[in-house]
Amino acid sequence: DNLCAVHCVNSLLQGPYYNGADLNSFARELDREEEALLGTKIADGQSQNYDASGNYSIGVIEKCLKRFGELKCVNIMGSKTRSEVLSAPHLESGYVCNQSNHWFSLRRVGSGSPASQTWWNLDSLRLQAPAKLSGPAELSSLIQSVVGQGYTVFVVRGNVPLPQPSKTANSGGMMTLSSNNGMKGMYLTEREAAEMAARAKTTGSTSGGAPSGDEGGAAFTMIAPSGVRNHEQPQK
């Protein structure tokens, strides 16, 4: 199954909070709400919110974020939002990007002012390691690039900030997830992530390459304390 929507949500929230079963449940919940609103019955297998391949609607992503902390996704193509985002994209906390059945997140992580924090591209399908962005200019360029490629980009906003990866230490590394090992993950320092990307290049799989279609590849969720390396337990 395509797990990029699961990876996208967990990347944004910086931890393995949801799995495929959770997203399926939210999709069915949305179907029931739509049936009640429209007064019609959706035929079996005709859900507008997910399919057998693991493709989910933005409504499912929003359900996950709302349950977590009253977070919402705002399409940046709205005139006011677009102006706000493109003028100062680094002042936001995170973005969700979608094209067809592919989802990925961009996250700001760290302590202090937004200018002192770091942005990461956590595209689990196209990247062999989390990609650190050089600053606001690269973030703005990336957002405009994916919009130009046909992606819909949502800025994530709400009454509570997106969670940091650790309550006891500042940022400095990443946690990777693999769809082959369920919800388990391993912490990597920033240096280790760079080494992972370098190894990928030597084997001919570049960080920014086109999707391979291999759903067993790494998916990145988390910026973690420097020097920490442990394993998350599968979500129950």
pLDDT score of 48: 85
pLDDT score of 204: 65
For residue 76, CA distances in Å to 4, 9, 146 come to: 21, 18, 12
Q: Evaluate whether 130 touches 120 at the Cβ level (below 8 Å).
A: yes
Q: Say if residue 87 is exposed, middle or buried (CB neighbours under 10 Å; 0-12, 13-18, 19+).
A: exposed
Q: Evaluate whether 97 touches 105 at the Cβ level (below 8 Å).
A: yes
pLDDT score of 169: 37
Beta bridge partners of 223: 174
CB under 8 Å to 193, separation ≥6 — which residues? Answer: 129, 130, 132, 173, 174
pLDDT in tens, 30-47: 999 988 888 777 766 678
Q: Evaluate whether 230 touches 184 at the Cβ level (below 8 Å).
A: no
pLDDT score of 209: 32
pLDDT score of 13: 85
Q: Does domain 4-232 fall into CATH 3.90.70.40?
A: yes
Structure pTM? 0.77
Q: So where are the chain's domains?
A: 4-232
What is the separation of C-alpha 73 from the centre of its chain, rounded to a whole number of angstroms? 12
DSSP for residue 110: -
Q: Hey, what are 117's tokens?
A: 């924090």
Q: Hey, what are 203's tokens?
A: 């084997």
CB under 8 Å to 172, separation ≥6 — which residues? Answer: 189, 190, 223, 224, 225, 226, 227
Which parts of the chain have pLDDT scores under 70?
Answer: 1-2, 43-45, 128, 165-189, 193, 204-236
What distance in Å separates the CA atoms of residue 222 and residue 183, rounded to the nearest whole number?
Answer: 13
Rounded CA Rg of the chain: 17
Residue bearing tokens 């961009």: 106
What distance in Å separates the CA atoms of residue 184 and residue 99, rounded to the nearest whole number?
Answer: 26
pLDDT score of 208: 38
